[in-house]
Amino acid sequence: MALPQRKIIHVDCDCFFAAVEMRDQPAWRDIPLAVGGQPDSRGVIATCNYLARRYGVRSAMSSVRALTLCPSLLIVPPDFARYKAASQQILTIYQDFTELIEPLSLDEAYLDVSGRPHCQGSASLMAEAIRRRIRDEVGITASAGIAPNKFLAKVASDWNKPDGQFVIRPEDVDAFVRALPVEKIPGVGAVTASRLHALGVRHCEDLRGWELAELVRHFGRFGERLHALVRGIDPRPVSVERLRKSISVEETYAVDLPDLAACLAKLPELLERLAHRLERAGQPAFRGLSVKLKFADFSQTTVEQAGQQLSSDTLAALLQVGHARGAQPVRLLGVGVRLAADDTEPRQLALFHGDEQAG
């Protein structure tokens, strides 16, 4: 007996941090606006409004670069208390439609509305109702994607941004995915897209003739996922409980750390902050230590080692290995632990989208 077709909604607020700022400061609605750090402290853009994006400003861009592209850009510091309050309001709205909610960050989530009675059972009408309530009750806009699985719902939510929605019906999945540019696949960043283009791959259809082993040889474990996604296959359920995999702290320095000795001198402070975070998290068991370095040219590396005790000597040794890989000044240092597989603490929601423009 065939299982009933799933109905997944992916809701993604439009330029969330900036939207909250414009809601609370109406005078900022008609100017290029970004939320992030200041250029004199090596700040990075967290997100920006759509007017700023017309100038080429993007998330994860340095504030210096953003101001070069848009000299009139107003950069304001983040206020996470207000963002979290808005996020909680939005979560409350979701809960009126389904209990199957998987938050990905403060401003986006998957909702499984299969079999829900709201809006005559129509996922598209539910998405419209959710977006309307976010606009009326929270004062910002959101976009939504509706599809039979999480992969397609996430792609669809970006299709009619801002303040829009897009539905991919089961009967349209095959044709839609065939024509989908590979850079639209979540997880395919600029580097992977360039590699695919160099191999003559532009659309998902171009990859359907590849054997699984061939994809794995080129892209490792991600090749397995590509093999499924280019066929529109994504069996992942909406997961209400997800486990935190790691705890870490990091620091971007206003002036590059010139050499290994300068990096080692910063280690005790980072270790103290990490120990404090572990204490606040209830001292969860962990099974590995890591050190992350970002160099002056923005290249980065992470060195890991198994271990169940915080050890300054071990972290110093990892730092030495990582520093040797770049052998140049360092702009960012981070230390962390990889949690044990049976740790049950819910993960902390990410505040920024890693490789994507937030909102």
Q: Which one-letter amino acid corresponds to residue 232?
A: G
Determine contact, residues 126/118, Cβ cutoff 8 Å.
yes
Q: Is 12 annotated as a binding residue?
A: yes
Domain 178-229: CATH superfamily, name plus number: 5' to 3' exonuclease, C-terminal subdomain (1.10.150.20)
Q: What's the pLDDT tens digit per position in 285-317?
A: 888 999 999 998 888 899 999 888 888 889 999
Angle at 269 between CA 79 and CA 46, to 5 degrees: 25
**Of 108, 272, 279, 356, catalytic:** 108
CATH T-level assignment (fold) for domain 246-339: Dna Ligase; domain 1 (3.30.1490)
CATH class of 16-79: alpha beta
pLDDT at 342 over 60: no
Q: What is the pLDDT of residues 81-130, one digit of tens each?
A: 999 999 999 999 999 999 999 998 889 999 999 999 999 999 999 999 99
256 assigned binding-site residue: no
Q: Is residue 355 very low, low, confident or very high in pLDDT (cuts 50, 70, 90)?
A: very low
SS3 of 210-276: CCHHHHHHHHCHHHHHHHHHCCCCCCCCCCCCCECCEEEEEEEEEEEECCHHHHHHHHHHHHHHHHH
State the Cα–Cα distance between residues 294 and 256, nearest whole angstrom.
10
Give yes or no: 108 in active site. yes
Local confidence band at 242 (pLDDT 50, 70, 90 cut-offs): low
CATH code assigned to 8-15+81-173: 3.30.70.270
Q: Where are the domains of the chain?
A: 8-15+81-173, 16-79, 178-229, 246-339
Burial class of 107 by CB neighbour count within 10 A (0 to 12, 13 to 18, 19+):
buried
